[in-house]
Amino acid sequence: MANKVTGEILEKSDFTVSDMVRLLSIDDGKETSLLYEKAYEIKTRFVGRTVYLRGLIEMGNICEKNCLYCGIRKGNRAVERYIMSEDEILDAARLAWECGYGSVVLQSGEMRSEKYSRFIEKVIRKIQGFCGWRMGITLSLGEQTADVYRRWFDAGAHRYLLRIETSDRDLYGMLHPAKYGFERRVECLRNLKDIGYMTGTGVIIGLPGQTAEQLVRDVLFFKDIDADMIGMGPYIPHHNTPMARSMNDFNAVKRNQLDLALRMIALTRIVLRDVNIASATALQAIDDEGRELGILAGANVIMPNVTPVRYRRGYQLYDNKPCLDENESVCRGRLEMRIRELGEEIGYNQWGDSPHYDTRKISANYRRTER
User: How many residues does the structure list for the chain?
Assistant: 371
- Confirm if 231 and 225 have CB atoms less than 8 A apart: no
How far is residue 354's CA from residue 351's CA, in Å, rounded to a whole number?
9
Q: 366: pLDDT confidence band, cut at 50, 70 and 90?
A: very low
Distances (CA, A) of 122 to 62, 89, 251: 19, 11, 43
- Confirm if 282 and 234 have CB atoms less than 8 A apart: yes
Res 11 pLDDT > 60:
yes
| Residue 365, pLDDT score | 62
How far is residue 317's CA from residue 87's CA, in Å, rounded to a whole number?
25
DSSP state of 27: -
Give exposure, 316-342, as e/b (b: 16+ Cβ within 10 Å).
Answer: bbbebbbbeeeebeebbeebbebbeee
How far is residue 46's CA from residue 140's CA, in Å, rounded to a whole number?
25
- Confirm if 298 and 291 have CB atoms less than 8 A apart: no
Q: 1: pLDDT confidence band, cut at 50, 70 and 90?
A: low
Q: Of 175, 162, 245, whose CA–CA distance to 210 is shortest?
A: 175
> Which pairs with CB-CB distance under 8 Å and at least 24 residues apart come from 89-92?
89/57, 89/59, 89/123, 89/127, 90/123, 90/126, 90/127, 90/130, 91/308, 92/55, 92/57, 92/306, 92/307, 92/308
How does pLDDT run across 217-255, given as a tens digit for each residue? 999 999 999 999 999 999 999 999 999 877 778 888 999
Give the mean pLDDT of 123-134.
Answer: 96
Q: Of 238, 161, 172, 160, whose CA–CA distance to 202 is shortest?
A: 161
How does pLDDT run across 57-83, given as a tens digit for each residue? 999 999 999 999 999 999 999 999 999
How does pLDDT run across 295-343, given as a tens digit for each residue? 999 999 999 999 999 999 999 999 999 888 766 666 777 888 999 999 9
In one-letter notation, the amino acid at residue 341 is E
Phi, psi (rounded to 5 degrees) for 312: -65, -35
| Residue 177, pLDDT score | 86
- Confirm if 348 and 339 have CB atoms less than 8 A apart: no
- Which H or E run includes 130? helix 114-131
Q: 370: pLDDT confidence band, cut at 50, 70 and 90?
A: very low
How far is residue 239's CA from residue 236's CA, in Å, rounded to a whole number?
10
What is the percent of the chain with per-residue pLDDT over 70, rounded to a whole number?
96
Beta strands in the chain (DSSP E): 50-60, 103-108, 136-140, 159-161, 198-201, 204-205, 229-230, 233-234, 276-277, 301-302, 345-346
φ/ψ region of 200 (left if φ > 0, alpha if ψ in -120 to 50, else beta) reads beta
- Confirm if 298 and 37 have CB atoms less than 8 A apart: no
